[in-house]
Amino acid sequence: MVATFVSKADHIATIPIIEQITVTADWYTTICLPKVITELRKINPERRIILHQDNASSHTAQTTRQYLTEENVELLDHPPYSPNDFFTFPKIKNRLRGQRFQSPEEVVDALKNAVLDLPTNEWNKCFKNWFERIQMCINLRGEYF
């Protein structure tokens, strides 16, 4: 399993979750988020960081909220039942379909390469579509569409 972070323009980071059975707030705030925030600040040190994440318990834990506040990271709300994986995972699955890997590290490398190979215009389409889907969820007060 991996945690992958992207922006409207590009891939930010992919962090392997090899040792974990579940993602905990401790892992998220000591391993994952520091790598993501470091990468984002390298790209543009002056720009504010706005993070979107789903409502998984490791994302909503007090430890995580406190860490993000200390790092001056703003959170973009995740509406109930809002899909957040309609673009990335199907595209990546199609690119990796049929491949065989000898180790978890090979899988992570292949995933990173597949994500990096996606052109910027694909990321732009992804975010445009995602914002439209979020608006639909908001308009329907969280009902399925």
CB contact at 8 A, 68 and 42:
no
Residues 58, 66: Cα–Cα separation, whole Å:
12
Alpha-carbon distance of 93 to 71, in angstroms, equals 33
Average pLDDT over residues 9-13: 79
Whether the CB-CB separation of 27 and 58 falls below 8 Å is answered with yes
pLDDT of residue 50 exceeding 60, the answer is: yes
pLDDT tens digits along 77-126: 776 666 656 666 777 788 889 999 998 788 888 988 888 888 878 877 87
pTM equals 0.72
Sorted by where each starts, the structural domains of the chain and their CATH numbers stand as: 2-139 (3.30.420.10)
Q: Is 140 helix (H, G, I), strand (E, B) or coil?
A: coil
